[in-house]
């Protein structure tokens, strides 16, 4: 199987999954920071708390102190650290650009360098913000992507190799890349878990892991 075939199987199964969920670019950025080391259901609770308290924006977070944010995002875990990070990241973005739309105008390279210079933003969070909040053509590679690429036989790749594989075959359309990552997240949660449910997986007849385990039985 090649990446185009995987993409087509996922489209047939899931279609447009609408990932990343969020009513605004700022909500998506905040969610990308909150989701570090926790499940999305915990993030949703934290986002709802921020929303109910009028704190779901960079300006509201930057105006308040981290002490006000932390109790609201308790469900996302590491809430003191995440509260501090949300506060400092919001402040730095607003001080440098004034808004996410102005940050977008600075271009992909500058936005990427800036985000990667901020404490609390690593490769995956940076790519999530670039793709989903800032609409740049960047494919997000997470542990699910690497696991599925490895098991299906696309290769034991590092992050850059996985990106190149996708760009070389699927291209660099921003919306396509958003949906592909979303569908991979869905496949990993529905079937390709730590203990995979290969019998019901839509990819199985093309998947090296499944074919090998059937052959070995
Ligand atoms: S067939 Fe099994 S190993 Fe392959 S993608 Fe599906 S769940 Fe993962």
Cβ of 152 less than 6 Å from ligand 1: yes
pLDDT of residue 5: 97
For residue 210, how far is its CA from the centre of ligand 1 (angstroms)? 6
Q: Whose CA is nearest to atom 4 of ligand 1?
A: 207
DSSP assignment string, 32-48: HHHTTTS-HHHHHHHHH
Number of domains forming the structure of the chain: 2
Residue the block writes with tokens 């990343």: 20
Mutate to test the pocket of ligand 1, among 150, 207, 208 (most ligand atoms within 8 A of CB): 207
112-123 residue pLDDT tens: 999 999 999 999
- CA dist 161 and 158 (Å) reads 5
Same domain (yes/no): 37, 113: yes
Same domain (yes/no): 37, 121: yes
Same domain (yes/no): 92, 163: no
Same domain (yes/no): 74, 117: yes
pLDDT of residue 216: 73
- CA dist 194 and 76 (Å) reads 22
Domain boundary among 133, 155, 183: 133
- CA dist 106 and 110 (Å) reads 6
- CA dist 148 and 209 (Å) reads 10
DSSP assignment string, 90-134: HHHHHHHTSSHHHHHHT-HHHHHHHHHHSTT--HHHHHHIIIIIT
* HEC readout, 196-208: CCHHHCCCHHHCH
Domain that includes residue 125, residue range: 25-133
**CATH number of the domain where residue 183 is located:** 1.10.1670.10
- Torsion of Cα atoms, 189 then 133 then 140 then 42, to 10°: -30
Q: Whose CA is nearest to atom 2 of ligand 1?
A: 198
Same domain (yes/no): 149, 122: no
pTM, two decimal places? 0.96
Same domain (yes/no): 167, 182: yes
Q: What does each C-alpha distance from 160 to 7, 52, 113, 167 come to in angstroms?
A: 19, 39, 16, 10
Contact 42, 76 (CB under 8 A): yes
CA quadruple 18, 22, 28, 33: dihedral sign: negative
Q: What is the largest CA-CA distance in the chain?
A: 61
Q: Whose CA is nearest to atom 1 of ligand 1?
A: 204
DSSP-derived letter for residue 148 is H
DSSP assignment string, 151-186: HHTS----HHHHHHHHHHHT---HHHHHHHHHHHHH
**pLDDT per residue rounded down to tens, the chain (217 residues):** 999 999 999 999 999 999 999 999 999 999 999 999 999 999 999 999 999 999 999 999 999 988 999 999 999 999 999 999 999 999 999 999 999 999 999 999 999 999 999 999 999 999 999 999 999 999 999 999 999 999 999 999 999 999 999 999 999 999 999 999 999 999 999 999 999 999 999 999 999 999 999 887 7
- CA dist 45 and 161 (Å) reads 35
Same domain (yes/no): 178, 208: yes
pLDDT of residue 65: 82
């Amino acid at each position: 199987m090649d990446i185009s075939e995987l993409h087509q199987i996922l489209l047939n199964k899931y279609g447009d999954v609408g990932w990343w969920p969020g009513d605004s670019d700022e909500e998506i950025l905040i969610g990308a920071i909150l989701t570090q080391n926790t499940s999305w259901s915990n993030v949703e609770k934290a986002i709802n708390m921020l929303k109910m308290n009028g704190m779901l924006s960079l300006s509201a977070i930057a105006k308040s102190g981290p002490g006000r944010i932390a109790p609201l995002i308790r469900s996302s875990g590491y809430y003191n650290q995440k509260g501090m990070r949300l506060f400092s990241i919001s402040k730095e973005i607003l001080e440098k650009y004034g808004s996410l739309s102005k940050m977008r105008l600075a271009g992909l390279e500058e936005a990427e360098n800036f985000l990667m210079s901020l404490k609390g933003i690593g490769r995956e969070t940076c790519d999530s913000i670039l793709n989903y909040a800032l609409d740049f053509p960047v494919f997000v590679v997470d542990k699910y992507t690497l696991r599925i690429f490895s098991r299906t036989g696309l290769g034991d790749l590092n992050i850059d190799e996985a990106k190149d594989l996708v760009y070389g075959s699927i291209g660099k359309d921003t919306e396509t890349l958003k949906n592909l990552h979303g569908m991979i997240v869905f496949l990993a949660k529905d079937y390709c878990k730590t203990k995979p449910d290969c019998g019901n997986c839509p990819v199985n007849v093309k998947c090296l892991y499944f074919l090998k385990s059937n052959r070995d039985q």
